[in-house]
Amino acid sequence: MAKYYTKAATVEMYSKEMFDLMEAFEKSVVKIASVSLDFCREDKSMWVRGYYYCNGKTNDMFRSYMLGYTHCKWAYNNGLFDE
């Protein structure tokens, strides 16, 4: 039988969770990526448009990181990690 999941997983703009996610990204991407990245953040007014970092490559990597985070958050909220 198919099971449908409805609990959404989002990250609120300008929330503590968002800033914590950005800090975690900046700390962990140094270990993952072999390229030099610029962590200069965009003005918060640009976040609504999906621009979080001034450097395009850094911004693309963060958006991928954030998608992975929200996917795992969604799975956790819907009990996919329960035994």
pLDDT digits (tens, 9 = 90+) for 66-75: 999 999 998 8
Q: Which residue, 29, 51, 50, 32, is CA-closest to 41?
A: 51
pLDDT digits (tens, 9 = 90+) for 22-67: 999 999 988 877 667 889 999 999 999 999 999 999 999 999 999 9
Q: What are phi and psi of 55, to 5 degrees?
A: -80, 130
Q: What are phi and psi of 60, to 5 degrees?
A: -65, -40
Domain ranges, residue 44: 16-29+39-77
* Total structural domains within the chain: 1
Q: How many CB atoms lie within 10 A of CB 66?
A: 17
Half-sphere exposure (Cβ direction) of 48: Cα atoms closer than 13 Å: 1
What is this structure's pTM? 0.82
54 within some domain: yes
24 within some domain: yes
